[in-house]
A and B are shown apart, each in its own frame.
Chain A
């Protein structure tokens, strides 16, 4: 048992901290969010140059041999700066699924350029009716000649507008919510018959509604096994959850630091409001919540490569429950202690609050994962 970072991991942490400090001062971020793409291609190029896009992949897949700990380290810093570059959809989800299920040819064609910063991805799984059920998929992929034809709708697809390829979860067999009969397809972002409605999200990211009107793909577009995508998706989503948890711990550290600073300087009744015990204790509760979030994130990060899938699922769900709970507590408390300033757009506090709120909703909120965890624990 060892909970300390290696020298290389410490260097990575320093580099990520420096990146956020240099590029993501609050007013800078506002400018980046307002650009056409909603992130800066030159930042993406720099991440590729620093090796961040390939660090968590195995060497035989063209990566640099790191893993979930490296992902945790950068995601935490991204959380501190509310970084907008599409690391999660491209590297963690897209890259993760290609590494887990892709053929040698797909890894060559997709993963290698992604690691170099030349390809981005989006992951389209959600539909209007799905809520948090990953198997609730009705977009159909029907066999046609040697390939498939995709028809249906996908929603809240992060980074779809900038993605070179969209990884689409489609139904090739089975009923509405069956885990069997799901297949992943790699679809060109500019494919004929694919239309997008693009929009910004609450937390200044970019997403799209996608309509597939008889989009044709070849047999080589299938990622992994036909009808057998569910375990790959579940595992990739669990890994994305753990990465999101790391991002959330960074957000919590930042929002707590901002609030602490605020209550030390804001004066009412002739004293800094941090002199009042009722605020002091709430501030302590915020720090306790952030500590617990960090602990659960670390635990999940260290368990997400476990060979027992139940251990992995319980770890991801357990951490997501904690993140939901702690994120809400820190976010709401920060707004409350900032008073009226907390509900303006002017300070960073509301932006962290929005990101923490959206993180809770992504891939299942606190309640969803509490139910999932308890079902897994009962079955054990």
Chain B
């Protein structure tokens, strides 16, 4: 056992750092540092640069066009990107639908879809939740009825992050309304430009527009867009959710958050609270490394990823809470221009004050999305503890 990096891994980290410094736009990096929101181009330009280098699908095996990183390389890649202030890779293509397609899709689907994900030429979003299907995802009602070589889709998805930026959406749809909830679901890819698809923004607690409602009104989808077999979409759904949970522990971002907490703190009463969350991040990182070291390259994480999601989300919330606590009353001025737009306006209060409260409000989502804390605990209780 050894925590030290081998020379080839050190060289790899240096290579990733040099690449990031050469290819990440300084304006995008500045948004990360100051806590401003990214626009579509910030994400897409950066992801396309990674795509060109062959690194965007960094979790994929070589066989599907990934770089075939080992576990240590993956860990270093995520950490260096976060340290250098890169925006997080939007997960819907690379982390979610990509692995579903190469695991469950046919050759034609792989050929058609994977290249655009690898290069970030095509942006994806995720059609899972519905107004009546949140934690109880299997109760979803968006209907897909087979009509010759097409499906006709009707219904509504919600909480769809970046639907307003996306070219495609992957959806869970009900293809057999008479079967048990989990058994009548299929996994369907839908072009967002298809007639009958409409997107309505949902403005969130911090004033930001990230998520949307997506409505389907007699949308005609080729049957060739069905992944896996009809009515067996729940298998894909669960596979994807387990992958999603591992990513959303967000350890590298939390490490960055802790570093900035240590810098902005000058109040002795905060010191031990920062030390406490600092140590929580270290425990989470070590737990993630232990989980990763048992993972086969390209394999899917098991239910233990749920624990990482629970702790990772609580830690993100705690960091945001402490950052706001450090700012004090200057968290109060609401300054949307500073957060969402390029402006030369002088900020009210200290530099880091404007995003503190919005970030705190926004981070409450982390214990809700991707399977709430309560759902994760149900999963662990059943799958690991046998209760």
CB distance from B381 to the nearest CB of A (A): 4
CB distance from B56 to the nearest CB of A (A): 24
Whether B385 pairs with A296 at a CB distance below 8 angstroms is no
B: number of interface residues (CB 8 Å)? 38
**What mask results when residues 141 to 158 of chain A are scored 1 for a CB within 8 Å of chain B, else 0?**
000000000000000000
Please provide the chain A residues from 364 to 380 with a CB less than 8 Å away from any CB of chain B in the complex.
370-371, 373-374, 377-378
A: number of interface residues (CB 8 Å)? 39
For B262, give its contact among A277, A287, A378 (CB under 8 Å).
Answer: A378
For B283, give its contact among A9, A296, A370 (CB under 8 Å).
Answer: A296
Please provide the chain B residues from 329 to 387 with a CB less than 8 Å away from any CB of chain A in the complex.
374, 377-378, 380-381, 384-387
Whether B307 pairs with A302 at a CB distance below 8 angstroms is no
Whether A299 contacts B381 in the complex (CB less than 8 A), given A263-B387, A288-B307, A378-B271, comes out as no
Residues of B within 8 Å of A294, CB to CB, are 290
Of B18-26, B40-48, B205-213, B272-280, which binds chain A?
B272-280
Interface status of A206 (Cβ within 8 A of chain B): no
How far is A322 from B293 in the complex, measured between Cα atoms in Å? 22
How far is A361 from B358 in the complex, measured between Cα atoms in Å? 40
Question: Chain A: interface secondary structure?
Answer: helix
Of B2-10, B151-159, B180-188, B231-239, which binds chain A?
B2-10
Whether B283 pairs with A292 at a CB distance below 8 angstroms is yes
Whether A281 contacts B282 in the complex (CB less than 8 A), given A3-B290, A292-B311, comes out as no
Whether A3 pairs with B276 at a CB distance below 8 angstroms is no
For B286, give its contact among A264, A288, A295, A374 (CB under 8 Å).
Answer: A295
Residues of A within 8 Å of B3, CB to CB, are 1, 299, 302-303
Whether A287 contacts B279 in the complex (CB less than 8 A), given A295-B286, A302-B1, comes out as no
How far is A303 from B1 in the complex, measured between Cα atoms in Å? 11
Whether B293 pairs with A3 at a CB distance below 8 angstroms is yes
Whether A321 contacts B276 in the complex (CB less than 8 A), given A280-B377, A288-B307, comes out as yes
CB distance from A135 to the nearest CB of B (A): 22
Whether A370 contacts B275 in the complex (CB less than 8 A), given A1-B4, A280-B377, comes out as yes
How far is A260 from B386 in the complex, measured between Cα atoms in Å? 9
How far is A298 from B45 in the complex, measured between Cα atoms in Å? 40
**What mask results when residues 261 to 274 of chain A are scored 1 for a CB within 8 Å of chain B, else 0?**
00110000000001
Interface status of B135 (Cβ within 8 A of chain A): no
CB distance from B176 to the nearest CB of A (A): 30
Task: Tell me the nearest residue of chain A to B374, going by C-beta.
Answer: A281
Residues of B within 8 Å of A299, CB to CB, are 3, 282-283, 286
Please provide the chain B residues from 246 to 290 with a CB less than 8 Å away from any CB of chain A in the complex.
262, 271-272, 274-276, 278-280, 282-284, 286-287, 289-290
Residues of A within 8 Å of B276, CB to CB, are 321, 370
For A280, give its contact among B1, B283, B287, B381 (CB under 8 Å).
Answer: B381
Whether B380 pairs with A287 at a CB distance below 8 angstroms is yes
Residues of B within 8 Å of A281, CB to CB, are 374, 377, 381
CB distance from B243 to the nearest CB of A (A): 20
CB distance from A368 to the nearest CB of B (A): 11
Whether A277 contacts B1 in the complex (CB less than 8 A), given A288-B311, A298-B290, A377-B262, comes out as no
**Considering residues A1, A2, A370, which has the most beta carbons from chain B within 10 angstroms of its beta carbon?**
A1
Whether B381 pairs with A283 at a CB distance below 8 angstroms is yes
Interface status of A291 (Cβ within 8 A of chain B): yes
Interface status of A69 (Cβ within 8 A of chain B): yes
Whether B387 pairs with A264 at a CB distance below 8 angstroms is yes
Interface status of A95 (Cβ within 8 A of chain B): no
Q: Mark A residues whose CB is within 8 Å of B.
A: 1-5, 9, 69, 260, 263-264, 274-275, 277, 280-281, 283-285, 287-288, 291-292, 294-296, 298-299, 301-303, 318, 321-322, 370-371, 373-374, 377-378
Q: Mark B residues whose CB is within 8 Å of A.
A: 1-6, 9, 72, 75, 262, 271-272, 274-276, 278-280, 282-284, 286-287, 289-290, 293, 307, 310-311, 374, 377-378, 380-381, 384-387
10 A/B residue pairs, CB under 8 Å, sorted by A? A1-B2, A1-B3, A1-B75, A3-B1, A280-B385, A284-B377, A288-B311, A291-B287, A299-B3, A321-B279
